[in-house]
């Protein structure tokens, strides 16, 4: 059995889901959100997000952390602040020595619904089906965390998926630059 912690990063609300993978059967262990106060300064909020993820890792001891990649919002500042939150989440995973997976939002949607452009409702419907739940995880950000975890489970139980992760792309870009 493998345990995957899925994270949908945010500075205001970070969604998470812990999913157990046994063979090809996935089961929801826990899901929820880490909320921070928008009136607090960014460093304090980053500290709370980091601490929240550190505690989740300590409680569940997952093998893998699966993190949704940056969504390139029209507002660049929003995207950059989201980058700060992802930074401390990736750090928490690295500090715990977990296997780290990163997936763009469209890849998570595709893994779960078969369509990269699926709506939030379609993703929630499929998450509910795949985990045999009575209703979709609430709030929606928690469902997105669960979807990230499911995506890692599904790529683990499949033959290779092309690697679209940010770090892989960066490494590739650095290699190309060196040539």
Q: Which residues are catalytic?
A: 8, 68, 141
Residue 70 is given by DSSP the state P
Q: Which of residues 23, 41, 159, 162 is near a second copy by CB under 8 A?
A: 41
Q: Which of residues 25, 55, 95, 164 is near a second copy by CB under 8 A?
A: 95
Contact 161, 155 (CB under 8 A): yes
Helix (H, G, I), strand (E, B) or coil at 12: coil
Q: Does 127 bind a second copy (CB under 8 A)?
A: no
The whole-angstrom separation of Cα 91 and Cα 94 is 5
Contact string (CB under 8 A) for a second copy, positions 154-173, x = contact: ------------xxx-xx--
Helix (H, G, I), strand (E, B) or coil at 37: coil
Task: Please identify, using beta-carbon distances, which residue of 158 and 171 lies nearer to a second copy.
Answer: 171
Helix (H, G, I), strand (E, B) or coil at 67: strand
Q: Which of residues 94, 119, 138, 157 is near a second copy by CB under 8 A?
A: 94
Half-sphere exposure at residue 39, Cβ-oriented, CA atoms within 13 angstroms:
0
Interacting residues with a second copy (CB under 8 A): 11, 38-44, 46-47, 50, 70, 72, 76, 79-88, 90-91, 93-95, 100, 166-168, 170-171, 174-175
């Amino acid at each position: 059995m493998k345990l995957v912690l899925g994270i949908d990063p945010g500075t205001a609300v970070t969604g998470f889901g812990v999913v157990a993978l046994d063979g090809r059967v996935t089961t929801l262990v826990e899901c929820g959100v880490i909320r921070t106060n928008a009136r607090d300064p960014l460093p304090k909020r980053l500290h709370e997000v980091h601490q929240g993820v550190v505690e989740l890792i300590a409680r569940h001891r997952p093998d893998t952390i699966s993190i949704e990649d940056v969504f390139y919002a029209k507002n660049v500042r929003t995207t950059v602040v989201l980058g700060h939150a992802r930074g401390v989440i990736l750090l928490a995973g690295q500090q715990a020595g977990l296997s780290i997976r990163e997936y763009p939002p469209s890849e998570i949607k595709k893994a779960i619904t078969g369509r990269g452009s699926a709506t939030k409702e379609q993703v929630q419907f499929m998450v509910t089906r795949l985990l045999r739940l009575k209703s979709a995880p609430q709030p929606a950000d928690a469902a997105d965390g669960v979807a990230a975890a499911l995506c890692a489970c599904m790529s683990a139980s499949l033959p290779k998926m092309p690697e679209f992760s940010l770090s892989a792309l960066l490494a590739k870009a650095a290699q190309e630059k060196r040539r």
